[in-house]
Amino acid sequence: MAVTIDLSGRVALVTGGTRGVGAGIARALLAAGAEVVVCARRPPDHPVATDGRTARFLPADLRDPAAAEALFARLGKDYGRLDTLVNNAGGTPYRLLADATAGHVVRVVELNLLVPLTASLAAYAQMREQRGGGSIVMIGSVSGSRPSPGSAAYGAAKAGLESLARSMAAEWAPTVRVNTVVLGMVRTERTAMHYGDEQGVAAVGRTVPMGRLAEPAEAGDACVFLASDLAAYISGASLHVHGGGERPAFLAAANAPTT
């Protein structure tokens, strides 16, 4: 029997939801019937939409606590509730630690750890007062569980984000559930910047057991599940959406066995 997730009547906010993974998550929530708001510092080049439904865009720089407070106050005023928060905003440029300044490291940690914390606190203040509570989903990364040369501060922040989610889940149960979707490599409009042309992308994809990069919609499907009643008893969990992880490098380097 097919399982259909219906989020009709629920309100979801996706931070950094105007492009890439965030837009994929927003479209998945729209397809499930939710009213979806996306926020970012700049508006999307094109509206985030699917199946004739469009996400509402609200500008916000969540690094400013006052701006974050104002955003959640507006959501409360306009919709009367917030059922799902997806903390997707984040990222980092490639930069080796020896080439980074302390200021750069602080900004990376702020965006990838402190911004989700600030947003989650504001969301919890609303969710704890409403019938049905709510669900918070952190967008994590495999960088948080393995060495991440060139993105060390990002990896450290993502490791902290998973720990934060588990502590929030313990403190805020049973009213608000908090989980993490741990992503590996995802194909977005910026993929070519990291891996080059299609041949390069395919080569990188072959390092993943599933043989390819993830699509943003697949991250979205995981978020829809965690936002739904099917996940009503899931909190403090980390759901890995990484195609099986990464093959150990030594396997490629080792000599083939002789007969």
Q: How far does Cα 189 stand from its chain's mean position?
A: 16
Continuous H helices in 2-89 = 20-31, 65-79
The distance from CA 253 to its chain's CA centroid, rounded to whole angstroms, is: 33
Q: Give the C-alpha separation, 181 to 137, whole Å.
A: 7
Give the Cα separation of 110 and 252 in Å (integer). Answer: 37
| Distance between CA atoms of residues 66 and 101, nearest Å | 27
**Is 154 marked active-site?**
yes
List, as own/partner pairs, every contact residues 64-69 make where C-beta atoms lie below 8 angstroms and the sequence separation is at least 24, other chains included.
65/118, 68/115, 68/118, 68/119, 68/122, 69/122
Strand partners, 231: none
Residues 6+ away with beta carbon under 8 Å from 169: 177, 178, 179, 235, 236
* Catalytic annotation, pick one of 94, 154, 195, 233: 154
Cβ 7 vs Cβ 228: under 8 Å: yes
Which residues have a catalytic role annotated? 154
